[in-house]
Amino acid sequence: MKRCLWCKQKAVIYMREHRLALCKDCYPKWFLRMTERTIKEWRMIEPSDKVLVAVSGGKDSLGLWFALTQLGYEADGLYLDLGISPGGYSERSKEFAMQLSERIQRPLHIVKVADEMGKPVPDLAFASNREPCSACGAVKRYLFNKFAVENGYTVIATGHNLDDEAATLLGNVLRWQIGYLARQAPVLPERVLGVGGEQGRLVKRIKPFVRFTEKQVALFTILNRIPYIEQECPFAVGAASLFYKDLLNKIEERSPGTKWAFYSQFVEQIQPLLDEKFPEPELRPCTRCGMPTTAEVCSVCRIKERANKLVAEVKS
Ligand code: Q46
Ligand code: ZN
């Protein structure tokens, strides 16, 4: 049995990639220290920033919200009710988010996708003929940004971990999705429109957990006794990202540290080159809603319009 390197108690985790064993008391301290280091290294949060955490009710986003408040950041939460009903998924996730808000005494904002878009995510996806995750991703990015802009938040923090980011990177590399690769980074700076008023802004996005594996985040959340939704979103079943995560875990097993090397070397050496060579097209205000987009009509307004058209066709 391994002993904690810091205090010699019984270890609860051995991180081969760091050659570090830690106990249940020292591990959360190490985890917070590493989170703070990531925030500072990437200049994720400045003292004047107002931080909004995208809270889903899962281990990553709840762990992140808790960690940020432990580190002294006055971060608020936003829970988007996607209206995913199989297994009571959205309802149960919301309960967990509310429990943590109560415990850390920070406000949790709740926005219902159906109120904002006229329909919940599964109906929007079906009616617009898109994969649920593709419609869901676009709607989430849009509504988080809209809420942040309208309520004066300057940073949106998400709980993406190393497994998520490495799997996305692998997927993008396998298909050489240069546009996506050019914009895959732990920090996406704020982008402002020359014209278009207050809404013409993409709020800065940060991923303070990119250094941690999924297991490391889960352990932090569990050791801090934060209940979270363990059930996967019903639409995640069979997703390619789960398969890529599995592959990367097998590689990591054979060669510890590969996952981090794959991701961090990309971010340090390749992403800046791509970003320079393939700059994002100019942003302009969506002609329907005024939010920033690279097209004439933003993808969310197009989803909404297609969904409404279908309803009109069914009724006639
Ligand atoms: S919530 Fe939405 Fe995820 Fe469910 S529908 Fe897909 S994108 S899997 S993070
Ligand atoms: Zn729009």
Q: Give the residues surrounding ligand 1 with Cβ less than 6 Å away.
A: 82, 132-133, 136-137, 233, 235-236
- Helix residue ranges per DSSP H, the chain: 26-41, 59-70, 89-104, 113-117, 121-127, 132-150, 162-174, 178-182, 214-223, 240-254, 258-265, 271-277, 299-315
Q: CA 52, 53, 57: angle at the middle one, nearest 5? A: 145
The pTM for the full model equals 0.94
Token couple for 165: 């980011």
Token couple for 135: 């419609």
Q: Which ligand is nearest to the CA of 233?
A: 1
pLDDT for the residue numbered 310: 74
d(CA 215, CA 162): 10
Query: Which whole-number Å values give the CA distances from 146 to 137, 139, 151, 202, 293, in the listed order?
Result: 14, 10, 9, 9, 13
Q: What are phi and psi of 273, to 5 degrees?
A: -65, -45
Distance 30 CA to ligand 2 centre (A): 43
Token couple for 210: 């990119």
Question: For every one of its 316 residues, what pLDDT tens digit does the chain have, with 9 covering 90 and above?
Answer: 799 999 999 999 999 989 999 999 999 999 999 999 999 999 999 999 999 999 999 999 999 999 999 999 999 999 999 999 877 889 999 999 999 999 999 999 999 999 999 999 999 988 888 888 889 999 999 999 999 999 999 999 999 999 999 999 999 999 999 999 999 999 999 998 765 555 578 999 999 999 999 999 999 999 999 999 998 888 888 788 999 999 999 999 999 999 999 999 999 999 999 999 998 888 889 999 989 998 999 999 999 998 887 766 766 6
Q: Which ligand is nearest to the CA of 116?
A: 2
* Residue 87 φ/ψ region, left for φ over 0, alpha for ψ in the -120 to 50 degree band, beta for the rest: left
Residues 6+ apart with CB under 8 A from 194: none
Q: Which ligand is nearest to the CA of 296?
A: 2
Distance 207 CA to ligand 2 centre (A): 25
Nearest residue by C-alpha to atom 5 in ligand 1? 133
pLDDT for the residue numbered 25: 98
pLDDT for the residue numbered 198: 54
pLDDT for the residue numbered 192: 85
pLDDT for the residue numbered 85: 83
Which one of 90, 231, 235 would you pick to mutate in the ligand 1 pocket, going by the greatest count of ligand atoms within 8 A of its CB?
235
Nearest residue by C-alpha to atom 1 in ligand 1? 233
Taking alpha carbons only, the member of 192, 182, 188, 198 closest to residue 155 is 188
